[in-house]
Amino acid sequence: MKRNHPRERPYTIEGANVPTFLKDLRYATRMLAASPGFTAAAVICLALGIGATSAIFSVVHAVLLRPLGYRQPERLVRLYTEFPDFPNGGLRRFWTSPPEYLELAHDLQSWESLDAWNLGGVNLAGAANPIRVTSCAITGGLMSSLGVSPEIGRAITPQDDVQGAPLVAVISHGLWQRAFGSDPAVAGRVVQINGRNANVAGVMPPGFTFPPGELDPPEVWVPIQLGPPDQRRRGSHFLYLIGRLKPGVPLRQAQDEIARHVRQSEDRWGRGNHPFSPKEHPIVSYPLHGEVVRAVRPALWTLMGAVAFVLLIACVNVANLLLARAEGRQREIAIRRALGAGLGQLIRQFTTEGLLLSLAGAAVGLALALGGLKLMIAAGKASIPRASSRFATLTHAIRSTNATAPISVHSAGRTARTTSPWSG
């Protein structure tokens, strides 16, 4: 005789039905606690998959996906000169000489600004103790082009970049804390840079770096003060260039303008005066963000694919564990059916167990992700650009875990619904 099961009440998490959900939750907790081996194996599988994926995705997001911290960074472009005919493959992505830079800044019309810099090291005195720091000499419009304002004082301006003008310096937030004791009145303070007096003009905000992606980022910026162009120095290459495209001007249009300028350069200067040349001395340009991450992009995407595959394997392993556990609980299921439990109630109960496993795996995976991020920062500062940016934070790891945990929740829930002995 067919047994009539009582109609189940609607299952929501509102009002009077909350005790039903809590009852399922308590029962699922007791059942998982009664099988510590199964529970530990499932949680460890999920934690390894979620932790590895979350940690690597946090790095990928910080290095590859997160925009550079400048105003409209998609309009910033790196420019280089090249010497393709040099031995051993030529000189690629090479420096520019001061006369070449000043010529380009004057003649090119597709750019809102074109600036230059070079890197070095300076001895800084006048702080708590004399120290050696990495420095960056920049043209006067560069900080304005980046669109980042100092948190104290002012930035370097074109008036500071005039040859013979009093020397000023802008310092990083970290150097301000470390060498100046976070003195709020540091602007206007006189320091010595390589023995020359300089006024501290300002302090950049936390997290600011330029140039981006440097493994030893500068902490002091000073005006480069190139002076008027001297065409006899066209072969003296030591400047890096960065340009900001005018609004609405695509990079392809700016590159076409550069190509025209290069073709006309030999007629303008003559072969004996080190002109640009399409074959012997061209100019190339690339988006700034792409240049910063160019060396590590393939490796990071490959690593991201590998850990995503690890997460998939972890979900499959947990699904198999849940299936084997369901096969071993047929007697329990039969008894509960005989006592009046409906099919929906049983599926709901087993789905709750899968949800608990997934949440436990996500929690342990989050802890693993945070530990992994700290290890990667320690190991990657010398090889991964932007590794010193603050991506190893709880917020980034939680966001990454939120992106991966639903995969394991879906896997566990789907397994409970479709591979159970009673579902067919």
Q: How far is CA 141 from the centre of its chain?
A: 26
Exposed/middle/buried for residue 184 (C-beta within 10 Å: 0-12, 13-18, 19+) = exposed
Exposed/middle/buried for residue 222 (C-beta within 10 Å: 0-12, 13-18, 19+) = buried
| Phi–psi pair at 36, nearest 5 degrees | -65, -35
Asked if 236 contacts 173 with a C-beta cutoff of 8 angstroms, the reply is no
Q: What is the pLDDT of residue 403?
A: 52
* Alpha-carbon span 381 to 210, nearest angstrom: 16
* Better-scored residue on pLDDT, 186 or 358: 186
> Which of the residue ranges 165-169, 247-251, 310-314 would you say has the lowest mean pLDDT?
310-314
Confidence band (pLDDT; 50, 70, 90) for 221?
Answer: very high
Asked if 91 contacts 227 with a C-beta cutoff of 8 angstroms, the reply is no
What's the whole-number mean pLDDT along residues 113-117? 96
Confidence band (pLDDT; 50, 70, 90) for 180?
Answer: very high
Q: What is the mean pLDDT of the chain?
A: 82
Asked if 355 contacts 361 with a C-beta cutoff of 8 angstroms, the reply is no
Q: What is the pLDDT of residue 383?
A: 66
Q: What is the pLDDT of residue 340?
A: 67
* Better-scored residue on pLDDT, 24 or 15: 24
Looking at the DSSP bridge assignments, the partners of residue 134 are 121
What's the whole-number mean pLDDT along residues 65-73? 92
Distances (CA, A) of 288 to 146, 214, 340: 12, 13, 67
> Which of the residue ranges 37-41, 203-207, 209-213, 269-273 would you say has the lowest mean pLDDT?
269-273
* Alpha-carbon span 343 to 7, nearest angstrom: 11
Confidence band (pLDDT; 50, 70, 90) for 7?
Answer: very low
- Residue % of the chain over a pLDDT of 70: 80
Which H or E run includes 136? strand 131-138
For residue 154, how many other CB atoms are within 10 A of its CB?
Answer: 14
Position 5 pLDDT exceeds 50: no
**Which residue ranges make up each domain of the chain?**
15-67+295-418, 85-281
Helices (H) and strands (E) in the chain, counts: 11, 11
What's the whole-number mean pLDDT along residues 326-331? 71
> Which of the residue ranges 11-15, 182-186, 315-319 would you say has the lowest mean pLDDT?
11-15
Could you tell me the two tokens for 21? 């959900």
Q: What is the pLDDT of residue 62?
A: 83
